[in-house]
Amino acid sequence: MSKTIATTAFAGQRPGTSGLRKKVTVFQQPHYLENFVQAIFDSVPELNGGVLVVGGDGRYYNRTAIQTILKMAAANGVAKVLVGKGGILSTPAASCVIRKYGAVGGIVLSASHNPGGPDGDFGIKYNISNGGPAPEAVTEAIYARTQTITEYQLADAADYNLDTLGEGELAGMQVVVLDSVLDYSELMASLFDFAAIRAWFAAGHTMRFDSLSAVSGPYAKHIIEGVLGAPAGTVVNGEPLEDFGGHHPDPNPAHAHELMEAMFAADAPDLGAASDGDADRNMIVGKKLAVTPSDSLAIMAANATLIPGYKDGLAGVARSMPTSQAVDVVAKALGIESFETPTGWKFFGNLLDANRATLCGEESYGTSSNHVREKDGVWAVLFWLNLLAATGKSVTELVSAHWARFGRHFYSRHDFEGLDTDAANGLMEHLRGLLGGLAGQKLHGLTVKLADDFAYTDPIDGSVSEKQGIRVLFEDGSRVVYRLSGTGTEGATLRVYLERYVADTAGHGEDTQSALAALITISRELAQIAERTGRLQPTVVT
């Protein structure tokens, strides 16, 4: 039995960089979630009679949303739903499960690196059958449908028990509650040399994995403490909590400050790592050294053949436009293709499907490979563990050797959060107005080579994405990039990305912010940040 419920459209249900993200209180409005979910079913007719994966990062409102989605799935003719136990599926595990069980798609509930709890954020996104985020054509269709919706379907059924593994039924739809930790762990075992990592721990090496009370905990504990034999307590903050225990679940040096303190202490472990709300991000830290995500991607690419899953080499690599060019230098040395895509994992899907890229990464602490179609935090940490075990080197030794061979890309991102939206839009328009006249100008000793608003033509399907960020490129290879965030829920966030290449080893020891000082000044002046936003300093520096 199902009901048809009348509704009216909500403005603003356009998915951003990674799905629809709003305050929990916005999602709690009657019909708000339902409208978006019905728009998914209306836009993807194959779900009728098909298999759907459902799960989320366990944050506040996850269970409520899943019950609604299950009843709507049944009423919309979905044949079978695979749902994570307790409603839990990390984003990479959701991708793994969609692929493994041949689902039509998945609905992932997460606001990822945004804070959770009743006053925090919630989010929902749709992933397609390759396990990856829906491409823009699909998210735009879903959005268009939210603007014309007048009714949705809901089964008249009791809530489903999400805590008992196994098969059951809800209003005629088959439901399977599964423990994705096992599927995910099996996939990791097929890629990495678990015996070598086990031996590395057995020899007394140590690590600290901070799950920030988010969803990576169960996966990291099972694999690192269970299968790989690291001592109990290696994974800290490993219980997923609805409010992340007050942690801001964003694995960067600013937010994962407990980990940074541990890694800068005299008794620091050999490897430090952290992951975000939905476990698709990773931060890698050595003793007194946070590895930038851009360097991490480049180092992984340069050393990939040491890892069993990549021993035959990489088809190519891809990075988001604001990510540093470090991996391009490696690709050139390896003689493989490198791609520059707009920000957001959905742009890597086609390259991975077509086997043009094997490894992909973003400066926002996201890295992954063709094993799934999402970024993957625990995978990245296992990759580094495998590198440490295979080489016997420390994180610092691997990083220094990499810089010595390829040169160092000093890199930092300055975020100005919670800006007035009009002021932020005005700032971007101001920058667009400057573009035509910048080439050839000398700014604080650096000559502008090219300035543009980044546009991307997908090499596989030819789709075009415009206005993806302002790039100012200098003759010496340095760059300043500006974007407005597409994942925030309060005002606007301006992201300023700064990069400078230094080939000579003698300059590699410099402090990052001082190495970037001229670019920082240029970035502030060009965009008139202080004048337009009233901010003299960024709120977050990564």
Residue 251 CA to residue 211 CA, distance in Å, equals 9
Alpha carbons within 13 angstroms on the beta-carbon side of residue 119 total 2
Candidate residues 193, 276, 363, 374; the one interacting with Co ion per rule CB under 5 A: 276
Q: Is 112 a catalytic residue?
A: yes
Closest to Co ion by CB, 136 or 276: 276
Binding partner of 495, given ligand VG1, Co ion, none, CB within 5-8 angstroms per partner class: ligand VG1
Query: Which residues are at the interface with ligand VG1 (CB under 6 A)?
Result: 17-18, 112-113, 276, 280-281, 320, 343-345, 362, 364, 366, 485-487, 495
Per the CB < 8 A criterion, the answer to whether 427 and 526 are in contact is no
Binding partner of 356, given ligand VG1, Co ion, none, CB within 5-8 angstroms per partner class: none
Tell me if 303 contacts Co ion by CB under 5 A.
no
Tokens representing 119 are: 């006053």
Shortest separation between residue 349's beta carbon and Co ion, angstroms: 16
Closest to ligand VG1 by CB, 50 or 92: 92
The per-residue b/e assignment along 485-505, b for 16 or more CB within 10 angstroms, e otherwise, is bebbbeebbbbbbbbbbbeee
Tell me if 278 contacts Co ion by CB under 5 A.
yes
Closest to Co ion by CB, 74 or 107: 107
Per the CB < 8 A criterion, the answer to whether 287 and 263 are in contact is yes
Going residue by residue from 57 to 96, which x/- string records binding to Co ion, judged by CB under 5 A?
----------------------------------------
Closest to ligand VG1 by CB, 50 or 84: 84
What are the start-end ranges of the E strands in 321-365?
A: 337-341, 359-362
Tokens representing 398 are: 């691997």
Binding partner of 349, given ligand VG1, Co ion, none, CB within 5-8 angstroms per partner class: none
Tokens representing 477 are: 């290879």
Binding partner of 474, given Co ion, ligand VG1, none, CB within 5-8 angstroms per partner class: none
Binding partner of 295, given Co ion, ligand VG1, none, CB within 5-8 angstroms per partner class: none
Per the CB < 8 A criterion, the answer to whether 10 and 161 are in contact is no
Residue 220 CA to residue 209 CA, distance in Å, equals 8
Tokens representing 18 are: 């990674």
Residue 251 CA to residue 365 CA, distance in Å, equals 7
Residue 536 CA to residue 542 CA, distance in Å, equals 17
Shortest separation between residue 487's beta carbon and ligand VG1, angstroms: 3
Shortest separation between residue 292's beta carbon and Co ion, angstroms: 18
- Point out the residue whose Cβ comes nearest to Co ion: 112
Shortest separation between residue 91's beta carbon and ligand VG1, angstroms: 7
Per the CB < 8 A criterion, the answer to whether 470 and 343 are in contact is no
Shortest separation between residue 307's beta carbon and ligand VG1, angstroms: 23
Coil, helix or strand at residue 473 = strand
In single-letter form, the type of residue at position 170 comes to L
Binding partner of 343, given ligand VG1, Co ion, none, CB within 5-8 angstroms per partner class: ligand VG1
Shortest separation between residue 112's beta carbon and Co ion, angstroms: 3
- Point out the residue whose Cβ comes nearest to ligand VG1: 112
Among 90, 112, 211, 485, the active-site one is: 112
Closest to ligand VG1 by CB, 221 or 346: 346
Shortest separation between residue 18's beta carbon and ligand VG1, angstroms: 4
Coil, helix or strand at residue 362 = strand
Residue 536 CA to residue 201 CA, distance in Å, equals 46
Tell me if 363 contacts Co ion by CB under 5 A.
no
Tell me if 225 contacts Co ion by CB under 5 A.
no
Size of interface with Co ion, in residues (CB under 5 A): 5
Binding partner of 303, given ligand VG1, Co ion, none, CB within 5-8 angstroms per partner class: none
Question: SS3 for 258-281, per residue?
Answer: HHHHHHHCCCCCCEEEEECCCCCE
Per the CB < 8 A criterion, the answer to whether 114 and 20 are in contact is no
Closest to ligand VG1 by CB, 153 or 343: 343
The per-residue b/e assignment along 221-238, b for 16 or more CB within 10 angstroms, e otherwise, is bbbbbeebebeeebbbbb
Nearest-5° angle of CA 206, CA 208, CA 209?
135
Shortest separation between residue 281's beta carbon and Co ion, angstroms: 5
Tokens representing 247 are: 């942690």
Shortest separation between residue 239's beta carbon and ligand VG1, angstroms: 20
Closest to Co ion by CB, 123 or 538: 123
Closest to ligand VG1 by CB, 193 or 328: 328
Tell me if 280 contacts Co ion by CB under 5 A.
yes
Residue 219 CA to residue 214 CA, distance in Å, equals 11
Nearest-5° angle of CA 70, CA 73, CA 74?
90
Binding partner of 344, given Co ion, ligand VG1, none, CB within 5-8 angstroms per partner class: ligand VG1
| Percent of the chain that is helix, strand, coil (3-state, to 5) | 35, 25, 35
Closest to Co ion by CB, 169 or 490: 490
What amino acid positions are annotated as catalytic residues?
112
Q: By the criterion CB under 5 A, which residues form the site for Co ion?
A: 112, 276, 278, 280-281
